[in-house]
C-alpha cells in the first residue's frame, strides 16, 4: 500500500503538457531568433547509484511521505516545457517474483491514471539483470504529445524515468543514457 501511495503522488508530479507547432512546409517561416537549447550534461548521483544525461541543470528534491518513503527526484523542465524526470525510492522489503511483476505493472497503471492519460503500449525491458517496464501514454488532451516512461526494480530500489519531449530523439537520448553503478 505504501508503494501504491508513493506511485500515485509521483505520477501526479510528473505530468507536464507540451505543444507541437510547425510552419507550413511550402512556405518559409518568418525569421526568428535562434532558441538556445540547453546543453546535455552527465549527471551522477552517488547516493542514488546511477548516472544519466540530462539537458539543463536538474533540480533535485527529496520528500518523505507519511508512509515513510523518501522519494528523490531529479527534474529538468525546459523553456519549451519538455520535461525530463528521474525519481527513485527504496522499498523496505524484498519482493517475490510474482510481486515484482505486480509492482511494475501497478507503477505503470498508477502513472497513467494519475496523468489522466491513456496507456498506448507497455513492454518488458531490463537494465542488466534487473526487470523493468517501458510504456507510452497519451494524455487525454489532444494537444499534448505522447509521453514515455520506464520503471525498474533494482533489488529494493525503484527507479522511474519519465519524459515528454517535443523531439522523440531527445526522449530516447535521455532514456538510453540511464546507467547504474
Asked whether residue 6 is assigned to any structural domain, the reply reads yes
Domain of 91: which CATH number? Answer: 3.40.1000.10
Buried b (16+ CB within 10 A) or exposed e, 14-46: bbbebeeeeeeeeeeeeeeeeeeeeebeebebe
Asked whether residue 25 is assigned to any structural domain, the reply reads no
For residue 123, the enclosing domain spans 2-12+43-180
Report pTM.
0.77
Q: Please tell me the predicted confidence (pLDDT) of residue 96.
A: 81
Is the separation of the CB atoms in 43 and 58 below 8 Å?
Answer: yes
Asked whether residue 34 is assigned to any structural domain, the reply reads no
Q: Which uninterrupted H or E stretch holds 67? A: none
Q: Please tell me the predicted confidence (pLDDT) of residue 37.
A: 55
Number of domains in the chain: 1
**Radius of gyration of the CA atoms of the chain, in A:** 17
Asked whether residue 37 is assigned to any structural domain, the reply reads no
Asked whether residue 152 is assigned to any structural domain, the reply reads yes
Q: Please tell me the predicted confidence (pLDDT) of residue 29.
A: 43
Q: Please tell me the predicted confidence (pLDDT) of residue 142.
A: 74
Asked whether residue 165 is assigned to any structural domain, the reply reads yes
DSSP label of 65 = -
Question: pLDDT truncated to tens, each residue of the chain (181 aa)?
Answer: 444 444 444 444 443 333 333 444 444 444 444 445 568 999 999 999 999 999 988 999 999 988 778 989 999 989 888 889 898 989 888 888 879 999 899 888 867 776 778 999 999 999 999 999 999 988 887 777 789 999 999 999 999 998 888 899 999 999 999 999 9
Amino acid at each position: 500500500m505504501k508503494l501504491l501511495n508513493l506511485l500515485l503522488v509521483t505520477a501526479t508530479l510528473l505530468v507536464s503538457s507540451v505543444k507541437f507547432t510547425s510552419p507550413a512546409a511550402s512556405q518559409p517561416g518568418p525569421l526568428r531568433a535562434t532558441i538556445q537549447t540547453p546543453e546535455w550534461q552527465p549527471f551522477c548521483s552517488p547516493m542514488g547509484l546511477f548516472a544519466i544525461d540530462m539537458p539543463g541543470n536538474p533540480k533535485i528534491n527529496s520528500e518523505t511521505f507519511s508512509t515513510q518513503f523518501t522519494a528523490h527526484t531529479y527534474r529538468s523542465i525546459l523553456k519549451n516545457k519538455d520535461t525530463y524526470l528521474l525519481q527513485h525510492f527504496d522499498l523496505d522489503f524484498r519482493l517475490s517474483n510474482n510481486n515484482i511483476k505486480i509492482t511494475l505493472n501497478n507503477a505503470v497503471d498508477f502513472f497513467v491514471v494519475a496523468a489522466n492519460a491513456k496507456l498506448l503500449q507497455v513492454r518488458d525491458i531490463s537494465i542488466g539483470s534487473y526487470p523493468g517496464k517501458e510504456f507510452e501514454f497519451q494524455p487525454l488532451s489532444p494537444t499534448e504529445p505522447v509521453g514515455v516512461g520506464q520503471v525498474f526494480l533494482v533489488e529494493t530500489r525503484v527507479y522511474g524515468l519519465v519524459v515528454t519531449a517535443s523531439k522523440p530523439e531527445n526522449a530516447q537520448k535521455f532514456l538510453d543514457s540511464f546507467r547504474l553503478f
